[in-house]
């Protein structure tokens, strides 16, 4: 009986996570349009993602003739599945998460690699030159973001003395980690843009140059899935930033999940708006930024956090 209850509970949590992630991806698509065209097109921004989804669902789903069919077909599903699995460890309230492993942050960072692999598969499987070039660029992402992202995120578990996301949020009861770890926040957010191929690090999807890059041969529902996965991973990364640095669900008056959603949306909007101020970077410039700036800065951040965690109230509990 208890086993059945457990399965039902897990299924409900999984369904809720998928729905929440879908809503999150929709929110990112709306924010993208709002920030691009302004508030006077708010009604358009709200309706356009749904219209576009309906249009893509009704369109032919073409596959390249001599491509790797299995990789081509599976890549969108792997990308979406990765986003969902990563989202499971994000608590929206005390104990309210898909599951809360003791190594939550580690699990989360490890799961981001299959996402990049899925994107690489999408490019590689097309049997086209543009897909191949875009795959090279995606591979450069894979080796670029992981170290700074992990090093920047590690400041939070250092302060909370736990890798469990719920405990990290609880440790920020008095003071958000983001207040005294601004360098970690900045590095994490830049690395997050790498992970989800967002501007200015969208060379692998680069529109005009490579005709859509890794997405070039996708159409219809599969294209919709890949686009949703890209937006979903972005919102998941922003949500994790809220958990690690901005107190997660904590806040006065409003219910915890609402605070969590509000903070995530605001952070997403801020990051998208700031990213739009910079032109698209070249692959080698991205690599330089990663290895010459982000990695050394993240090591410095670890040292600073290590010292501050001993003194700051709320850190080093």
d(CA 182, CA 298): 11
User: C-beta of 283: minimal distance to another protein in Å?
Assistant: 6
Q: Which residue has the tokens 């898909």?
A: 98
Please say which residue, 223 or 242, places its beta carbon nearer to another protein. Answer: 223
Please say which residue, 11 or 59, places its beta carbon nearer to another protein. Answer: 59
Classify residue 211 as left (phi > 0), alpha (psi -120 to 50) or beta: left
User: C-beta of 199: minimal distance to another protein in Å?
Assistant: 6
- Given a contact cutoff of 8 angstroms between Cβ atoms, the answer to whether 256 and 181 are in contact is no
Residue list 256-315, contact with another protein (CB under 8 A): 276-285
**Piece in contact with another protein (CB under 8 A), picked from 29-37, 103-111, 117-125, 252-260:** 29-37
d(CA 133, CA 123): 8
In three state form, how does the secondary structure of 251-304 look? CCCCCHHHHHHHHHHHHHHHHHHHHCCCCCCCHHHHHHHHHHHHHHHHHHHHHH
Considering only 14, 22, 46, 61, the residue that binds another protein (CB under 8 A) is: 61
- Given a contact cutoff of 8 angstroms between Cβ atoms, the answer to whether 110 and 163 are in contact is no
Considering only 6, 7, 15, 52, the residue that binds another protein (CB under 8 A) is: 52
Please say which residue, 118 or 215, places its beta carbon nearer to another protein. Answer: 215
Considering only 31, 86, 120, 130, the residue that binds another protein (CB under 8 A) is: 130
Residues that bind another protein (CB under 8 A): 33, 36-37, 41, 44-45, 48, 51-52, 55, 58-62, 129-130, 132-133, 136-137, 199-200, 202-203, 206-209, 211-212, 215-220, 223, 276-285
């Amino acid at each position: 009986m208890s086993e059945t209850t457990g399965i039902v509970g897990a299924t409900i949590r999984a369904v809720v996570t998928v729905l929440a992630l879908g809503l999150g991806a929709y929110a990112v698509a709306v924010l993208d349009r709002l920030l691009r065209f302004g508030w006077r097109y708010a009604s358009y921004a709200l309706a356009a993602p749904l219209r576009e989804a309906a249009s893509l669902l009704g369109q032919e789903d073409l596959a390249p003739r001599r491509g790797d069919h299995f990789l081509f077909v599976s890549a969108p599903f792997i990308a979406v599945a990765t986003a969902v699995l990563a989202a499971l460890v994000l608590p929206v309230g005390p104990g309210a998460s898909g599951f809360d492993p003791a190594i939550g942050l580690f699990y989360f960072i490890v799961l981001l690699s299959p996402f990049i692999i899925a994107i690489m598969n999408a490019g590689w499987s097309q049997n086209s030159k543009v897909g191949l070039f875009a795959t090279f660029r995606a591979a450069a992402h894979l080796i670029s973001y992981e170290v700074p992202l992990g090093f920047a995120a590690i400041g939070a578990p250092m302060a909370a003395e736990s890798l469990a996301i719920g405990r990290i949020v609880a440790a920020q009861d008095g003071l958000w980690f983001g207040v005294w770890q601004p360098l970690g926040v900045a590095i994490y957010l830049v690395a997050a843009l790498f992970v989800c191929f967002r501007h200015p690090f969208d060379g692998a999807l680069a529109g005009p140059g490579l005709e859509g890059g890794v997405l070039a041969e996708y159409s219809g529902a599969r294209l919709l899935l890949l686009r949703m996965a890209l937006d979903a991973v972005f919102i998941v990364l922003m949500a994790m930033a809220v958990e690690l640095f901005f107190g997660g669900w904590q806040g006065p008056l409003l219910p915890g999940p609402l605070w969590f959603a509000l903070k995530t949306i605001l952070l997403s909007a801020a990051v998208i708006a700031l990213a739009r101020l910079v032109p698209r970077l070249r692959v080698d410039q991205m690599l330089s930024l990663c290895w010459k700036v982000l990695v050394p800065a993240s090591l410095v951040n670890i040292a600073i956090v290590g010292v501050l965690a001993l003194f700051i109230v709320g850190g080093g509990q």
